[in-house]
Amino acid sequence: MKVHVSKNQLADVLGHVERIVPARSSNPGLSLVRIKLEEQLLVFSGSNMDIDIEAQLPADVTGNGEIAVPAGVLGQVVRALPGDDVELSIEEQEMGLSSGTYSTRLQLVDPDQAPALDFEDSYDGLLPAPALHRILSNVRYATATADYQAIFRGVKLELSDSRTRAIASDGFRLAYDQVEESSGLDAQVVVPARSVDEMIRVLGEGEAQLSANASQLSLKSSGIRMNLKLMEGTFPDYERIIPHEFPVAVSVNARELSQAVSRVSLMADRTTNNRVDLFVHEGTVQITAEGSFGRSQEAVTVQQEGSEHEIAVAFNAKYLTDALSPLGGRARISLSRDSAPTVMVDPDAPGYLAMVVPLRTT
Amino acid sequence: MKVHVSKNQLADVLGHVERIVPARSSNPGLSLVRIKLEEQLLVFSGSNMDIDIEAQLPADVTGNGEIAVPAGVLGQVVRALPGDDVELSIEEQEMGLSSGTYSTRLQLVDPDQAPALDFEDSYDGLLPAPALHRILSNVRYATATADYQAIFRGVKLELSDSRTRAIASDGFRLAYDQVEESSGLDAQVVVPARSVDEMIRVLGEGEAQLSANASQLSLKSSGIRMNLKLMEGTFPDYERIIPHEFPVAVSVNARELSQAVSRVSLMADRTTNNRVDLFVHEGTVQITAEGSFGRSQEAVTVQQEGSEHEIAVAFNAKYLTDALSPLGGRARISLSRDSAPTVMVDPDAPGYLAMVVPLRTT
């Protein structure tokens, strides 16, 4: 059977599958891409046991069949093809790829060696893909990387009848972002950070279809279906630890503040948690850092409000710049004394909130 | 003392020094940049014991002095500066850098802790910098990386009264490139590959001044002076192993052949030295490879000459594509039977020659 497809479309589809499928695995079947031939359609699928992915490519297929080849090798060959079009020829033992004067014959592997995957035929929920993309992207940074508490290595999605919220925390900081739009689902799930990255990659224009059960979140967007294994455990009740009263608040250009904090933090030592000190006073925030090589400082103008005239708070510089990163315009930063958390929001685009626990200075 | 300089110029100069000076070293003095203040000049220097480097920056200096600071920290701070201009203030214990509303104070280190470096005041030889850049760049790939024979981890420079030639080999392949121009020196030196990389980076427009003695090559180009420690040992007599008679020669578009070899080699196994087979016959070179995943092939049109009608030779694909990489237009490839080396030259731009030993196929 011969099938003609565009090289770029085939490379795109394989790119999605290749990012999931492990290049090497103790289970060799896991490194395969399964290719189903359906009427006018090629369907590629693979898995890393945490994420199953399936991507469809319209093509001049007549008849049915199923084959498997190593995903990484197929991807490499397709990306290297010299022409714009590829002729695939599926035979008993081999899959031929030819383009221009170049041709390759890949040995087929029994598709039963690849994991059997089960994708949803219909989904219960629906959200604009760009909205889901935004709330996941904006909180991803706050997930934990260390073995602090396993559940913090995921992003929580709260799907309710009034809004959709993504939340991440590592115990020292927290971020959430939300849209006032319901997916139609009523569920609370925690998706591993690595799987969130793949969701973000797949979510483009148009709509995202969603389903959830106790063990998996299913997603369909841009012609790609994914099953994402959920994390077990309970995400802590975070809302009660977000303060609502602050002695001082400032409004500041988020990018300007973030760049100043980055520069100043170059003099901070890793051994002191990359500490920078912020001193708010008379419409200015003075940022200082000191370490074994020397010290540095910068002042940024702010609009200051609140019941008190000045406040001094110390932060891990990275936590500050991360928290400011989703904010394109102004940031409203509400500061507390005595190691109580600082809260940052975008006054012009509600939805996003970041909370950072300051460093103890005594 | 206060000195004003352009941020970009300072960052450029420090970039050269930072690439040489190790970020961490068991000898902490080695990670320092020494800064000499001379009339209207800042002079930055550092070393990694194999390469000494000195870069000058014109500036509004009045008076003299010498200081040292960690090179990596200074570089990081300078790159992060917000404005276009920097004010340096040199004091007893500290060096201040300020730009816009940002300022840093770096603690000074006793410059005697940095290695004492001795650069040439005058040089004996002269070459166009782009010519030296070209011959070094074109042969760099052929140096050895493994512990095969230490001398092969360098590039030999033959400086004679009629020409200047750079040669590199790893025992399985060899490349030389030359200009029919004398530097005025009469010397044969072997420069470590890592030092060659730094020479290539520094060689820009204009002229390169050169001096050589038994243990070091000295270079001045683009306002930068370098001392490069030479390798000990004798570079093998390579000219006698370059064949001059061949049963078959082909002329081919170098880029087209190289891309075809790359594509076909995707099916070659690492365990067979990335083997591709070339079969020259009737004005075509047929490239094939086979491995555990399958096989691939491509044909490229050539102009064929020679006493024989056809020839089959096997190569490590990487050696072939490396050898072709300096050739922008046509390659003339002279092929031998029985594992005798293949020789490649650019028929339109003499100077470059690459020799590759084929893989044994029996």
- Inter-chain contact B267–A296, Cβ cutoff 8 Å? no
Cβ separation of A294 and B260 shorter than 8 Å?
A: no
pLDDT digits over A302-345, tens only? Answer: 999 999 999 999 999 999 999 999 998 999 999 998 789 999 99
- Check CB contact of B263 with chain A, cutoff 8 Å: yes
Residue A279 CB contacts under 8 Å (≥ 6 apart), including other chains: A285, A286, A288, A310, A311, A312
The H or E element spanning position B260 is helix B254-265
SS3 content of chain B, % helix, strand, coil (to 5): 25, 40, 35
Q: Do B266 and A80 touch (CB under 8 A)?
A: yes
Write the pLDDT tens digit of every residue in B120-130: 999 999 999 99
What the block records as the tokens of B122 is: 């005058």
User: Which two structure tokens, joined as six digits, stand for A32?
Assistant: 């395969």
Mean pLDDT score, B180-206: 96
A104 vs B266: CB contact, 8 Å cut-off?
A: yes
First to last CA, chain B: 74
Planar angle of CA B248, B249, B254, nearest 5 degrees: 145
Task: Quote the minimal CA–CA distance from A296 to chain B in Å.
Answer: 4
Cβ of A105 and B260 within 8 Å? no
A43: left (phi over 0), alpha (psi -120 to 50) or beta: beta
* Distance (Å) of CA A291 to CA A184, A257, A272, B108: 52, 21, 8, 13
Residue A362: its pLDDT value, please?
Answer: 65
B300 interfaces chain A, CB cutoff of 8 Å? yes
B299–A101 CB contact, under 8 Å: yes
Cα–Cα distance measured from residue B241 to residue B251, given in angstroms and rounded to the nearest whole number? 23
Burial category of A40 from C-beta neighbours within 10 Å (exposed 0-12, middle 13-18, buried 19 and up): exposed
pTM value is 0.91
Alpha-carbon gap, residue B321 to B145, rounded angstroms: 17
Scan for tokens 């599926």, then name that residue: A90
Residue A62 has a pLDDT of 87
Q: Are B53 and B45 in contact (CB under 8 A)?
A: yes
* CB A211, CB A120: distance < 8 Å: yes
Per-residue pLDDT of chain A (362 residues; tens, 9 = 90+): 899 999 999 999 999 999 999 988 888 899 999 999 999 999 999 999 999 999 999 999 988 999 999 999 999 999 999 999 999 999 989 999 999 999 999 999 999 999 999 999 999 999 999 999 999 999 999 999 977 789 999 999 999 999 999 999 999 999 999 999 999 999 999 999 999 999 999 999 999 999 999 999 999 998 899 999 999 999 999 999 999 999 999 999 999 999 999 999 999 988 888 999 999 999 999 999 999 999 999 999 999 999 999 999 999 999 999 999 999 899 999 999 878 999 999 998 889 999 999 998 76
B11–chain A Cβ distance below 8 A for any pair:
no
pLDDT tens-place string over residues B338-360? 789 999 999 988 899 999 999 98
Residues of B in contact with A294 (CB under 8 A): 73, 94, 104-107
Instruction: Please name which of A172, A164, A202 lies closest in space to residue A16, comparing C-alpha atoms.
Output: A202
- Whether the pLDDT of residue B195 is over 80: the answer is yes
Return the structure tokens found at A81: 């093809």
Q: Which residues of A touch B106 (CB under 8 A)?
A: 293-294
φ, ψ (nearest 5 deg) of residue B231: -80, 145
A104 vs chain B: nearest CA distance in angstroms? 4
* Cα dihedral A159→A164→A168→A169 (10° resolution): -90
pLDDT tens, A191-238?
A: 999 999 999 999 999 999 999 999 999 999 988 999 999 999 999 999
Distances in Å between the alpha carbon of B252 and those of B249, B315, B319, B329, B344? 10, 17, 17, 9, 11
Q: CA of A334 to nearest chain B CA: how many angstroms apart? A: 24
Of A81, A104, A292, the CB nearest to B267: A104
Structure tokens at A162: 């009034």
| Contact with chain A for residue B107, Cβ under 8 A | yes
Would you state the pLDDT for residue A25?
83
The answer, for A23 touching chain B at a CB cutoff of 8 Å, is: no
A296 touches chain B (CB under 8 A): yes
Q: Give CA A47 to chain center in angstroms.
A: 18
Q: For residue A266, give the nearest of B80, B263, B298 by CB distance.
A: B80
pLDDT value, residue A312: 96
CA proximity to B175, closest of B211, B210, B200, B139? B139
Q: Would you say residue B56 has pLDDT above 80?
A: yes
CB atoms within 10 A of CB B174: 25
Instruction: Tell whether B102 lies on the interface with A, counting CB pairs under 8 A.
Output: yes
Q: How many CB pairs under 8 A join A and B?
A: 92
State the smallest CA–CA distance between residue B299 and chain A in angstroms: 6
Strands across the sheet containing B207-212: B65-70, B32-38, B41-47, B51-58, B224-229, B216-221, B207-212, B125-128
Residue A34 to chain B, least CA–CA distance (Å): 15
State the Cα–Cα distance between residues A74 and A105, nearest whole angstrom.
10
H-type helices in A21-60, by residue range? none
Residues A102, B296: C-beta atoms closer than 8 Å: yes
Q: Is the predicted ipTM greater than 0.90, yes or no?
A: no
Q: What is the pLDDT of residue B54?
A: 98
β-strand A102-107 against A125-128: which pairing, if any?
unpaired
β partners of residue B300: B285
DSSP string, B144-186: --SSS-GGGGEEEEEE-SS-EEEEEE-SSEEEEEEES---S--
- Show the tokens assigned to B240: 């006698």
* Dihedral pair phi/psi, residue B177, rounded to 5°: -145, 145
CA distance B276 to chain A (A): 13
Q: Identify the residue whose tokens are 């958390």.
A: A341
The alpha-helical segments, DSSP class H, found in chain A are: 7-20, 71-80, 129-139, 193-202, 254-265, 317-324
The pLDDT of residue A349 is 83
Contacts of B296 in chain A (CB under 8 A): 77, 102-105
For residue B284, the chain A residue with the least C-alpha distance is A101
pLDDT over threshold 80, residue B362: no
